[in-house]
Amino acid sequence: MSLPSDFLWGFATAAYQIEGSADVDGRGPSIWDTFCAIPGKIADGSSGAVACDSYKRTKEDIDLLKSLGAKAYRFSISWSRVIPLGGRNDPVNQKGLDHYVKFVDDLLEAGITPFITLFHWDLPDALDKRYGGFLNKEEFTADFENYARVLFKAIPKCKHWITFNEPWCTSILGYNSGYFAPGHTSDRTRSAVGDSARECWIVGHNILIAHGKAVKVYREEFKPVNGGEIGITLNGDAVLPWDPEDPADVEACDRKIEFAISWFADPIYFGKYPDSMLKQLGDRLPTFTPEEVALVKGSNDFYGMNHYTANYIKHKTGTPPDDDFLGNLETLFYSKSGECIGPETQSFWLRPHAQGFRDLLNWLSKRYGYPKIYVTENGTSLKGENDMSLEQIVEDDFRVKYFDDYVHAMAKAFSEDGVNVRGYLAWSLMDNFEWAEGYETRFGVTYVDYENDQKRYPKKSAKAMKPLFESLIKKE
């Protein structure tokens, strides 16, 4: 069991979760700044206004990465730090842009390969207010194309670009359940605006078009000179049938992945939405024009894979409600025979099940012709971690075991199953603002003491990464 000699491993973060400095050096507000200000939206009433203070601590973060032996670092750009009002005719904020240019220079000088995510959920608030953000195909896709071009031009040294992080979350959590910014949902007790039956599918469609436009710009205007590669990062869970003897549960397993992942991956690899989605959603799923098919199909140089957990899948009968986004099925942690999928964590949705990771790597590889895969996020929270002492927190054996199990499952998928996985970026380099869960949930391999000047303390899991990968990566 092994990984290739040129395998890249490291850690991942996102701008709004770590940077802080929300109104420093000309940064404009994002939809998350606005969302966090609404009482009741964030578990602890917090925001990313300070977070881990990483905007001011880039040297400290790079020193941390170096000390852990990381070969790569995935981070995202704050769109509203670079173009505060977001639009293609709005001014570029040079201070914000210069910050990221220098950060990439410093990473490369430290021997760390940057992976840049252009968009990790933090749309400039001005675009949401100006024309409805993601819901306006013409405006949003043109503004994203411009934003992408500004970054490609400014940072030619970056060779690994990700257009969007987890468009499923932007679409479903932002425009169906309303759990994430901007909080649209049909539930009028939670939002004055939103149509859960339709808006999420429109948003997903428009993100695909924007992705295609950014990739076209990169390939035509920058790749011929700079080289490099570009793709999208999609999230999805592993699946097991609730009753393996029931063909309807087995079939529902594929449908669950199709509604989560293939919703975006099928148009990119095949030029169309999955049949299961077309069948259930009908005309609520937007149609691609021939020009859009040409733009989106083939627009991945690699597949970015975010993965954390697994579920047992139980099919449902009857007509699904209009706001159903799972594919007419239930997700469960216990099987029909009473088996539990994995131990509890701090996150209600997350149970470790490493074999599921290997299974999903194989499912994706078979469906999409064995593409190059970068695992762009993988990690776990730990039940009750936020209530422990510092001494207990840094001894995070549960997280050490999670990474050990998952990385070995990935290595088996590469060496035994022929899966072309070439990189792994653990989530996350440090504890941070965990979106709607605020600071109550910790995912970091480094403890951040929010009460005492954001001091960083590497946990056992941080120090276990280097020996883990050294034991698996082939020596040249």
Q: Residue 345: phi, psi to the nearest 5?
A: -125, -175
Joined together, the tokens standing for residue 350 give 């997350």
Joined together, the tokens standing for residue 359 give 């299974």
State which H helix or E strand residue 98 sits in. helix 94-109
Closest CA relative to residue 426, chosen from 362, 361, 380, 363: 380
Closest CA relative to residue 80, chosen from 125, 140, 115, 24: 125
Any catalytic annotation for residue 60? no
Joined together, the tokens standing for residue 182 give 């901007």
| Selected catalytic residue, list 19, 139, 145, 166 | 166
The rounded distance, in Å, linking the Cα atoms of 418 and 473 is 16
| Selected catalytic residue, list 19, 258, 377, 434 | 377
The rounded distance, in Å, linking the Cα atoms of 235 and 167 is 8
Radius of gyration of the chain, Cα coordinates, nearest whole angstrom: 21
CB atoms closer than 10 angstroms to residue 460 = 15
132 Cβ contact list (under 8 Å, min separation 6): none
Any catalytic annotation for residue 166? yes
The rounded distance, in Å, linking the Cα atoms of 131 and 205 is 17
Which residues are known to be catalytic?
166, 377
